[in-house]
């Protein structure tokens, strides 16, 4: 048996991507699977962005570029942060990476090491704890409550701060809960970060996907002291339906951005040249497609949550952001059907995939076994079909 590096042994594959791969393999075998697994917009990348990419190829943007992103793209990001988030950055405070996941990964490599604790409110996005572990630091999971709409309270946060605390990973709007932080809670969190001198990694990838008039606030915009301790991570994957293009960015203190750029220069080199040119158009160009995407997501969100809440043993909060429903399914635990007992989120996810041919992600992957995650970034017809199947499958267990 090959002896692996210690830090690599504990790393799991991304469960969201694994479930997507499984659903796609079933589809390739001719099985009619409804995919509520992976979270990516089902809309196509807007035409003007694709045109910019085609033009970039024609214009010869097919060579190595500046490792941390070309200046016109950094300038488009700086302008976006000024326009949307009331934040001022210089070019040396911004790095472009191959997706927000890569941004978070580079940040983890630059910031976390043995002896560091990184606080992660649960339910959390699947990659946060593994990226901490990969850097031999310790994830400190802070459970939040459905009754509090999964918002971390300052009291809960304070209880987990120790002399080893290095950072807090905050994700608002949140994957998987769909809930988002109000300004007053962010202010209290910022106060604690400044008082106890830890960093905040603010993952704002779902910023543009909000409903019911919710107003996203970046924690970095709440004052100079918190800005100096915050890394804003964002990208175009969700806002511009560009998951496959791989563009994400980080804005934060220049000292760390420089180290992240060095790491990138020794690993991936520059993010794809064509993607960078297309991303300039994405950030500077029109955003009218977003209204259509949002109104569609909004309809599906209401429909899915309403139907889930009508099912026996299930309770689901109405998300205010992102594109996931995160129902509490623990009311079903203990029930069984021929040869099968449902005692965990994994049991239920496997049952739904096997029996109902519906792919969903078990809540355990997000740090709370009482839930499952269903993405509504798929057509209304699929949502209706998938929910009909879930309803039928659940009626068979008692």
Judged by CB under 6 A, which of 135, 175, 275, 279 binds ligand PMP? 175
Specify whether the CB–CB gap between 137 and 166 falls below 8 A.
Answer: yes
Q: Which is nearer to ligand GLU, 74 or 238 (CB)?
A: 238
For residues 172 to 211, the per-residue mask of contacts with ligand GLU, x marking binding by CB under 6 A and - elsewhere, is ---x------------------------------------
How far is Cα 327 from Cα 338, in angstroms, rounded to an integer? Answer: 24
Q: Which of 16, 41, 68 is nearest to 243 (CA)?
A: 41
List Cα–Cα distances, 56 to 44, 273, 284, in angstroms: 19, 8, 16
- DSSP letter for each residue of 140-206: EEEE--GGGTTPPPHHHHHHT--TTEEEEEEESS-TTT-----HHHHHHHHHHHHHHT-EEEEE-TT
Q: Which of 243, 337, 343, 382 touches ligand PMP (CB under 6 A)?
A: 243
Scanning residues 50 to 69, which ones bind ligand PMP (CB under 6 A)? none
Residues 113-132 that bind ligand GLU (CB under 6 A): 126
Provide the mask over 143-172, with x wherever binding to ligand PMP is found by CB under 6 A and - wherever it is not. Answer: ----------------------------x-
The neighbouring-strand residues paired with 199 are: 167
Q: Which residue, 201 or 256, is less far from ligand GLU as judged by CB? A: 201
Burial of 211 (0-12, 13-18, 19+ CB in 10 A): buried
The phi and psi torsions of 305 (rounded to 5 degrees) equal -65, -40
**Binding partner at 38 among ligand PMP, ligand GLU, none, C-beta below 5 to 8 Å by kind:** ligand GLU
Tokens of 140: 């400190």
Q: How far is the CB of 31 from ligand PMP (least distance, A)?
A: 25
* Contacted entry of ligand GLU, ligand PMP, none for residue 171, CB cut-off 5 to 8 Å set by kind: ligand PMP
Q: Is residue 14 a contact residue for ligand GLU (CB under 6 A)?
A: yes
What does 248 interact with, of ligand PMP, ligand GLU, none (CB < 5 to 8 A by kind)?
Answer: ligand PMP
The answer to the question of residue 237 lying near ligand PMP (CB under 6 A) is yes
By CB under 6 A, tell whether 261 contacts ligand GLU: no
Residue 69 or 176 with smaller CB distance to ligand GLU: 176
Binding partner of residue 203 among ligand PMP, ligand GLU, none, CB cut-off 5 to 8 Å per kind: ligand PMP
CB of 17 to ligand PMP, least distance (A): 8
Among 23, 38, 87, 387, binds ligand GLU (CB under 6 A): 38
Q: Indicate if the alpha-carbon torsion angle 222, 225, 226, 227 is positive or negative.
A: positive
The smaller minimum CB distance to ligand GLU, of residues 17 and 188, is found at 17
Give the nearest distance from C-beta 364 to ligand GLU in angstroms.
Answer: 14
> Using CB distances below 5 to 8 A depending on partner kind, what does residue 17 bind out of ligand PMP, ligand GLU, none?
ligand GLU
Minimum distance, C-beta of residue 37 to ligand GLU, in the bound complex (Å): 7
Six token digits for residue 189: 């969190």
What is the separation, in whole angstroms, between the first and last Cα of the chain? 45
DSSP 235-286: ESTTTTT-TTT--EEEE--HHHHHHHHHHHHTTT-S--HHHHHHHHHHHHS-
Q: Two tokens at 371? A: 């839930």
Name the region of 33 (left: φ>0; alpha: ψ -120 to 50; beta: rest). beta
Query: Using the rule CB under 6 A, which residue among 80, 101, 307, 362 binds ligand GLU?
Result: 101
Least distance between ligand PMP and beta carbon 179 (Å): 13
Ranges of H-type helices in the chain: 6-9, 15-28, 47-58, 71-85, 100-111, 127-134, 154-159, 183-196, 224-227, 254-265, 273-284, 288-309, 345-351, 380-395
- Indicate which single residue of 41, 248, 321, 386 sits in contact with ligand PMP (rule: CB under 6 A): 248
Check residue 242 for interaction with ligand GLU (CB under 6 A).
Answer: no
Which residues of the shown chain bind ligand PMP in the complex (CB under 6 A)?
39, 99-101, 125, 171, 175, 203, 205, 235, 237, 243, 248
Which residues of the shown chain bind ligand GLU in the complex (CB under 6 A)?
14, 16-17, 38-40, 101, 126, 175
């Amino acid at each position: 048996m090959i002896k692996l590096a210690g830090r690599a042994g504990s790393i799991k594959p991304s469960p969201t991507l694994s479930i997507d791969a499984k659903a796609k393999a079933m589809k390739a075998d001719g099985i009619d699977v409804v995919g509520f697994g992976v979270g990516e917009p089902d809309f196509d990348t807007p035409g003007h962005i694709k045109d910019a990419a085609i033009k970039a190829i024609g214009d010869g943007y097919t060579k190595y570029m500046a490792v941390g992103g070309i200046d016109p793209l950094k300038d488009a990001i700086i302008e976006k942060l000024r326009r949307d988030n009331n934040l001022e950055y210089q070019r040396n405070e911004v790095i472009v990476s191959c997706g927000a996941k890569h941004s978070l990964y580079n940040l983890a490599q630059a910031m976390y090491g043995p002896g560091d604790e990184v606080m992660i409110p649960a339910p959390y996005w699947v990659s946060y704890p593994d990226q901490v572990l990969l850097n031999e630091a310790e994830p400190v999971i802070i459970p939040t409550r459905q009754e509090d709409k999964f918002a971390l309270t300052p009291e809960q946060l304070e209880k987990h701060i120790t002399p080893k605390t290095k950072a807090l990973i905050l994700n608002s709007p949140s994957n998987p809960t769909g809930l988002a932080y109000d300004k007053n809670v962010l202010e209290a969190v910022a106060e604690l970060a400044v008082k106890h001198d830890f960093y905040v990694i603010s993952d704002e990838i779902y910023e543009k996907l909000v409903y019911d008039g919710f107003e996203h606030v970046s924690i970095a915009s709440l004052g100079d002291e918190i800005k100096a301790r915050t890394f804003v991570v964002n990208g175009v994957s969700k806002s511009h339906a560009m998951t496959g293009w791989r563009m994400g960015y980080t804005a934060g203190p220049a000292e760390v951005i420089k180290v992240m750029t060095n790491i990138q220069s020794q690993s991936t080199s520059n993010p794809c040249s064509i993607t960078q040119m297309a991303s300039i158009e994405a950030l500077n160009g029109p955003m009218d497609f977003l209204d259509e995407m949002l109104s569609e997501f909004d309809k599906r969100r209401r429909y899915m949550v309403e139907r889930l809440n009508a099912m026996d043993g299930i309770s689901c909060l109405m998300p205010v952001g992102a594109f996931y429903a995160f129902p509490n399914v623990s009311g079903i635990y203990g029930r069984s059907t021929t040869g099968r007992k449902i005692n965990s989120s994994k049991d239920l996810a496997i049952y739904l995939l096997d029996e109902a041919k519906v792919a969903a992600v078990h809540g355990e992957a997000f740090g709370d076994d009482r839930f499952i995650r269903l993405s509504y970034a798929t057509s209304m017809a699929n949502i209706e079909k998938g929910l009909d199947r879930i309803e039928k499958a659940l009626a068979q267990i008692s």
